[in-house]
Structure 1
């Protein structure tokens, strides 16, 4: 089973590209979703975090107070290292579990599927008008695939899957995938999207971008690239279809 790594810097339109692949029945294992799933209330990972950081990082309902934890770890590099020490193995283990389910032709864990749906519903409420996902044209594009004959049915053993890992290069996870697709946009586009999404200043947006691995590095280490800011939605649909056909062909070697 071929594993495609989907990555890219912030505000490059990666979510929309992932959704276009999903229209073809491609299974996507999302590391951001897993990072949230493994710290659900009463989970072993959350219990370890509480044991180290204290119960003040919990909200009244027992869920993780992300804002509080973020403030603590970014003020102390040692605490950030400890958090990564706790959470990264849990994310890695859960990712391997889901990959193995796909490789064996089993359905993905319903708990993971339901959690993703809940998170997507929350995210859709907060989508801004400048995103492809929220635009009228984008919503239409996500109704059906460009060419239905290439849809992978749920009964099929997946020929390939996508691992959506925003920090794939930063966390040196290239070994987990067979090929890498980078979703890219110009820095000016990223800044515009961040400002409109987060309602922050240009300086804050630039600071967020500066803390990420450089755009050039990711482009130079990509096997495939989709530059979202120079393509129309129709062109993105066609590009995704072309890559889907390519990955289907490549998967025959795995």
Structure 2
């Protein structure tokens, strides 16, 4: 079994690439999905987040309002680290469980872990290969404005809260252009997968 970390910057096209890996037969584990799972109302991480950041970050249905929480942590590195300290260990345990499960069903599986903070959270040490999805900053800003309704200033703050893409590119086994047309991107993904399966 091979574990591939797919990462990049915010709004570079990681999810698109991960979806293509899934289409070609890889098992995909989505870190954001796991993070949403571990912070469901009443779970230990949810209780800790509410204790740390207050009840004003909750929606009426007691779920965490990601925008309200984001507005707090993306302005303050210390608070962001505190939040990551609550969520990351739980997400890591869940990812390891799902990876073991995939390996048991198919010992030759290619498991793709779609994770925004691969390097920042030290996950790069736990994967066999790394694929970085890149995009120019203007594209990232435009996507964040459209997708998340952020202002240019907030979009930039979110981009700058992550490790620069240039650093991630240098540490990658594969670099994919998240602004390339879908057909070309799909061909790249297919080629990477073929290479991984032949190792």
TM over 0.5, shorter chain:
yes
TM-score when scaled to structure 1?
0.70
1:76 deviates by 5.4
Match of 1:187 in 2: 137
Is the alpha carbon distance of 1:191 and 1:47 closer, same or farther for their aligned partners in structure 2, counting shifts above 3 Å? closer
Alignment of 1:70-81 (within 5 A): 70-74=70-74, 78-81=78-81
Alpha carbons 2:5, 2:130 under 8 Å: kept:
yes
Residues 161/204 of structure 1: CA separation in 2 closer, same or farther (3 Å cut): same
Give the superposed CA RMSD: 2.2
What's the TM-score once normalised by structure 2's chain length?
Answer: 0.87
CA distance in 2, matches of 1:199, 1:85: 27
Distance 1:73 1:204 in 2: 12
Aligned mates of 2:91, 2:57 — CA distance in 1: 20
Distance 1:34 1:228, change over 3 A: same
Aligned partners of 1:81, 1:199: CA distance in 2, in Å? 24
1:58-137 matches, cutoff 5 A: 58-74=58-74, 78-105=78-105
Deviations 1:120-145 (A, max 9, x none): xxxxxxxxxxxxxxxxxxxxxxxxxx
How many residue pairs end up in the alignment?
199
Which deviates more from structure 2 when the two are superposed, residues 50-59 or residues 88-97? 50-59
Gaps of 5+ in 1: 106-155
Asked whether the 8 Å contact 1:3–1:160 carries over to 2, the reply is: yes
Corresponding position: 1:167 with 2:124: no
SS at 1:161's partner residue? strand
Question: Which residue of structure 1 lines up, in the alignment, with residue 45 of structure 2?
Answer: 45
